[in-house]
Amino acid sequence: MLSKKTVTVASSSLWKSLRHVVVLYSLCGLISGYSERHVHDLMSRYPLIDGHNDLALQLRILHNNQLSQIDLHNVSKVATDITRLQAGHVQAQMFAVYVLCGAQEKDAVRLTLEQIDVVRRMCTEYQDFEIVTSSKELRSSEIRNKTACLISVEGGHSIDSSLPALRMFYQLGVRSMALTHNCNTPWAESSSKLYNVYQRHNNSLTHFGKAVVDEMNRLGMIVDLSHTSWGTAWAVLKHSKAPVIFSHSSSYSVCNNSRNVPDRLLHELKKNRGLIMVNLHSNFISCSNEANISHVADHFDYIKKIIGAESVGIGGDFDGAVRFPQGLEDVSKYPALIQELLQRNWTENELANVLRRNFLRVFKEVEKVRDQLKLNKPSEVQIPHWEVQNPCRLVLKRPELRQQSPSSRAQHGPKGQLGLVIVLLILSLFIIQ
């Protein structure tokens, strides 16, 4: 049997251990609370510019673009609405205008116009939103406490190999375009092998493809290399006069998916002064269906180690991809990612760059190149018809006159003319009477 003294000593030790646990638990709570407040303060001062969001696609799929049927403050079955954008400190959102690759050689231009229309409608009909078309407007929208809408065309098939169509999209407010989606265009190569169209060998960016890049540089439209093949990305990085972006791609060295960016392209992107905006899709983060915030942060750490924090941004791909890391299920969860990076000793200055300053720098430099090229006239380069091979593409020429049949010619011969004279004489007699 234990003595009273032994029991007393044991009880005292137990209480001391419990007090230590309570103190440690309280400290953890204070640290966590401080971290959350720190994140809120940081993201209030440097709210996020998100490089890629497919809400417009979901509006078409779920609601046939009928905005009158929904309230964008609270939308079910999607990862994005006004309430959650505000909770996630998303001050500017690049909304993707995307149409399926199956529309190539068909009605891609019309469908793209309809998607531009729905983005413009939602960003003008709701006072929380505001369409912006310049880096200056983007900065001023923050001051006015608006969520800025930037429009990006996702996939070069949307312009139907037409520089005039590209220019008209710019006039409608488009300020970025991904050169491909999951299909090749006649002039650029995709990272995907889903569609067996426009296959080429050793020609990832054609002469017309370079003309597209040149015209985007002249207009001040950001070239987006997400979804392009590595060969196309390399060619563009060597050719473009302005910085480019990967709007929603991650590190190939961390997850070897072809949609991600290998180190050699990251180094070239650094030389270009461009930007890679990390994609949150689980398959691009962990190369599996399951991922967590730590896996995402690994991509940020690796890219920072390779090319520096000044070349990193965030392009969530919400409402486009289908699987997201635990804790990052929708746009309201961005603070959890920033908290993880803070805990990994990212500085406030580095995170301010990631959240918005890097994108603003790229946008301003794209506009600077535009200003340098302002004396250049719009490009009149046309793609050769044999490169397009589109049966729905009309070749403008005078129609061939069909030869008239003998019976048709007879109607206009002497007998036909005599009959016409007789009819006119009879009509004139009635008129005289």
Give the active site residues.
Answer: 52, 54, 154, 181, 227, 248, 317
* CA nearest neighbour of 366 among 243, 277, 263, 274: 243
Residue 109 is encoded by which pair of tokens?
A: 């231009």
Contact 342, 35 (CB under 8 A): yes
